């Protein structure tokens, strides 16, 4: 066969966007290890150990903690379609793209959805939910902890209390949160939660860690209708992940190696140190951007360390800066989505990507591009401000 297709040769990038993030070198190597069967004793042991590490990361004892074989959106779908039966009432908190996606998923699953909204960049307080809880009497309340479209960091604990007082279950999107900021499933009483591998876990996209507590599982086991999705039915997945080991689907073996290694990397560093590193690099970046007069899009006090959504300065060409960053410096950052299209840059400092070297590289490249576009600022000020923040922490 003589199809003339180019040799596979992906360019080397620095991925500082909203995901995927740069893969840890140990994780990339893990993917290339020998494939075993999905029922091989070696693989079954690896599943058990992955579950142990996932529980530690989610800070939960939930038995039903595992990874769905698909991306973060499948984690969203898996949690929603298992908890919701057609006709059930669900509240979804929407302050960005991913809350809106959860509404769509819930409606397709047959939920009667009540949307509670906040402006993009802001977070919800318990007061925002009180009336809707009283009126909709929902079975489930869905909320996004780290809204990747706005950079807003949603506090969960107080809302969880209120949701439980109303008798509902709490479903949390932790796709971008997990591995970057503390996520306390048991302490906060989260009933179901999902994440993804390509944000702060620094794995390729392809798996969605999820966890269901006993209350969520009891609700699923007492459903009157079958779960609408065969592939995502947790009662069937439980037979594969549990001691029965009933074949369900062929697990993506080598991606499971990647996740395993990524979880080892995080636990070797230690969760507290990992979260502190994300915070320090965020603070250094923020100091640098502030020195250039660049402002954050999310509410002060609720800005995510791993996703820095900032306003494109007046007179600067959004697409040209992003294009030049990619083509001349090999740096990928994200554009604004939806309401923030053309107005916001999203700079990710996720997992392995959250490093001083990346912060300083990005700021110096940005200064050069801003200078070329005639934007007025104090040259070198961003580097000075960022390095000052690093010096303080030594």
Ligand X SMILES: *Cc1c(COP(=O)(O)O)cnc(C)c1O
- Contacts to ligand X by CB under 6 A: 19, 71-73, 76, 98, 144, 146, 148, 173, 175-176, 196, 205
Task: Name the residue nearer to ligand X (CB basis): 147 or 261.
Answer: 147
Peptide bond between residue 388 and the one before it cis (omega within 30 degrees of 0): no
Task: Name the residue nearer to ligand X (CB basis): 296 or 375.
Answer: 296
Task: Name the residue nearer to ligand X (CB basis): 203 or 385.
Answer: 203
Minimum distance from residue 160 beta carbon to ligand X (Å): 18
Between CA 317 and CA 343 the distance in angstroms is 10
Tell me 270's DSSP state.
-
Task: Name the residue nearer to ligand X (CB basis): 54 or 360.
Answer: 54
Minimum distance from residue 88 beta carbon to ligand X (Å): 21
Give the 3-state secondary structure of 45-113: HHHHHHHHHHHHHHCCCCCEEEEECCCHHHHHHHHHHHHCCCCCEEEEEECCHHHHHHHHHHHHCCCEE
300 CB burial (10 A radius; 0-12, 13-18, 19+): exposed
Task: Name the residue nearer to ligand X (CB basis): 121 or 288.
Answer: 121
Minimum distance from residue 306 beta carbon to ligand X (Å): 10
Minimum distance from residue 336 beta carbon to ligand X (Å): 14
CB count within 10 Å of CB 135 equals: 11
Strands 192-194 and 208-212, bridge-based pairing:
antiparallel
Minimum distance from residue 214 beta carbon to ligand X (Å): 25
Minimum distance from residue 215 beta carbon to ligand X (Å): 23
Q: Give me the residue whose beta carbon is nearest to ligand X.
A: 72
Strands 140-144 and 307-311, bridge-based pairing:
unpaired
Task: Name the residue nearer to ligand X (CB basis): 91 or 172.
Answer: 172
Between CA 166 and CA 136 the distance in angstroms is 10
Between CA 218 and CA 139 the distance in angstroms is 13
Strands 112-117 and 89-94, bridge-based pairing:
parallel
Minimum distance from residue 244 beta carbon to ligand X (Å): 29
Task: Name the residue nearer to ligand X (CB basis): 18 or 138.
Answer: 18
Residue 102 near residue 153, CB atoms below 8 Å = no
| DSSP bridge partners of 309 | 346
Task: Name the residue nearer to ligand X (CB basis): 205 or 293.
Answer: 205
Minimum distance from residue 155 beta carbon to ligand X (Å): 16
């Amino acid at each position: 066969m003589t199809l003339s297709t180019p040799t596979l040769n992906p360019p080397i990038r620095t991925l500082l966007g909203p995901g995927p993030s740069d893969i840890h070198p140990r994780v990339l190597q893990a993917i290339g290890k020998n494939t075993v069967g999905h029922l091989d004793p070696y693989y079954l042991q690896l599943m058990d150990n992955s579950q142990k590490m996932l529980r530690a990361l989610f800070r939960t004892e939930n038995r039903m903690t595992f990874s769905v074989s698909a991306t973060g959106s499948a984690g969203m779908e898996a949690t929603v379609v298992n908890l919701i039966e057609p006709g059930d009432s669900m509240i979804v908190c929407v302050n960005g793209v991913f809350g809106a996606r959860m509404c769509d998923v819930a409606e397709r699953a047959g939920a009667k959805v009540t949307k509670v909204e906040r402006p993009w960049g802001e977070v919800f307080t318990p007061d925002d939910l009180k009336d809707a809880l009283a009126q909709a009497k929902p079975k489930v309340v869905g909320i996004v902890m780290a809204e990747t479209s706005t950079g807003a960091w949603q506090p969960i604990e107080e809302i969880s209390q209120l949701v439980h007082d109303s008798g509902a279950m709490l479903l949390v999107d932790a796709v971008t949160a997990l591995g970057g900021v503390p996520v306390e499933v048991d302490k906060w009483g989260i009933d179901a939660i999902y994440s993804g591998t390509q944000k702060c876990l620094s794995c390729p996209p392809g798996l969605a860690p999820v966890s269901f507590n006993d209350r969520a599982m009891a609700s699923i086991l007492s459903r009157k209708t079958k779960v609408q999705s065969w592939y995502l039915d947790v009662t069937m997945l439980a037979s594969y992940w549990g001691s029965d080991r009933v074949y369900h689907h062929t697990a993506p073996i080598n991606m499971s190696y990647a996740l395993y290694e990524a979880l080892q990397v995080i636990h070797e560093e230690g969760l507290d140190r990992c979260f502190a590193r994300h915070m320090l690099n965020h603070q250094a970046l923020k100091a640098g951007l502030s020195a250039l007069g660049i402002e954050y899009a999310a509410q002060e006090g609720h800005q995510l360390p791993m996703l820095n959504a900032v306003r494109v300065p007046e007179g600067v060409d959004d697409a040209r800066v992003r294009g030049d960053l990619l083509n001349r410096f090999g740096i990928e950052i994200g554009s604004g989505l939806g309401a923030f299209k053309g107005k916001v840059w999203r700079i990710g400092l996720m997992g392995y990507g959250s490093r001083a070297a990346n912060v300083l590289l990005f700021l110096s490249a940005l200064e050069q591009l801003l200078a070329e576009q005639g934007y007025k600022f104090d040259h070198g000020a961003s580097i000075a401000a960022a390095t000052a923040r690093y010096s303080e922490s030594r």
